[in-house]
Amino acid sequence: MPYENILVDQRGAARWITLNRPLSLNSLSLALAEDLHHAFAAAETDEAVRACVITGAGRAFCAGADLVAVSNGVGDGALAGNLNEFLSRLGETLNRIEASRLPVIAAVNGLAVAGGLELVLCCDLVVAVRTANFGDAHANYGLLPGGGGSVRLPRKIGVPRAAYLMLTGKTVSSADMKDAGLVAELTEPDELEPRAQALAEMLAEKSRPGLAYIKEMIRAGQDMSAEEGLRSELETMNAYASSTDLFEGLSAFREKRKPRFLDR
């Protein structure tokens, strides 16, 4: 389907989704959230798609919510309604991205703050240019996180670092975020897309259900005690035990060859 706020193209096994509002630094509007939601729904039902990559057009990844659009109606009492509609749909979209059975890579080409950081937090792997900056920034405008940042950021980088970003509103470098554990790889600008594509193709060689189960195990383990997590891990492994990909992987290991996953 045609989209007004994103670009979608298939590159090998990877579905690239580019936020395409460069004049507003790819700020998140209600329409963009809708486009993202539909794009992921389409990707998840397409057998040709083995991984998704999200990036931004122009010099920013995403500068957060479109505050101009959201604040329309401040004087006539419509602000609360606008915020509720926008954040509800944005939350649904971000939750869908986080819960996708496909591996999702954020290729951060520039600034990622507020809602842009919240989008990054929903991705499985983050590749960023060395010149990118990250921040929460809500406090700078008297705002609160509304896209899951207060929950996901402390879990990804730890409470002290998350509190620093959320309370000060400062931005930090991609190198700082790599040290914090959010960014997996740093690249030069001209290397970002090739590196993200190579990573997506690497993931495409894995078992599709295998990666989906691993993602599920990681998410579930965040909300459990160690004992519950270990029990859940064993239950998930038992559910995967009848998979043809498991048998193929073990056969390939014994035969010292590359697996040929049937569910790939």
Per-residue pLDDT of the chain (264 residues; tens, 9 = 90+): 689 999 999 999 999 999 999 999 999 999 999 999 999 999 999 989 999 999 999 999 999 988 777 766 555 556 667 778 888 899 999 999 999 999 999 999 999 999 999 999 999 999 999 999 999 999 998 989 999 999 999 999 999 999 999 999 999 999 999 999 999 999 999 999 999 999 999 999 998 888 988 998 888 878 788 888 888 888 888 888 888 888 778 888 888 888 888 754
In this structure, which amino acid lies at residue 118? E
Q: Which long-range contacts (CB under 8 A, 24 or more apart) does 65-74 make?
A: 65/27, 65/28, 65/90, 65/114, 65/115, 65/146, 65/147, 66/24, 66/27, 66/28, 66/29, 66/32, 67/27, 67/141, 69/29, 69/30
Q: How many CB atoms lie within 10 A of CB 47?
A: 7
Integer-rounded Cα Rg, in Å, for the chain is 19
| Confidence (pLDDT) at 125 | 97
CATH class of 6-204: alpha beta
| Confidence (pLDDT) at 229 | 84
Helices (H) and strands (E) counted in the chain, each on its own, are: 11, 10
Do the Cβ atoms of 103 and 125 come closer than 8 Å?
yes
pTM for this entry: 0.91
Give the helix/strand (H/E) hosting 139. none
| Confidence (pLDDT) at 123 | 97
| Confidence (pLDDT) at 262 | 72
User: If you search the block for the tokens 């990707």, which residue do you land on?
Assistant: 43
Q: What are φ and ψ of residue 134, in 5° steps?
A: -125, 150
- Pairwise CA distance, residues 99 & 36, whole Å: 14
Largest CA distance in the chain: 71
What is the length of the chain? 264
| Confidence (pLDDT) at 251 | 85
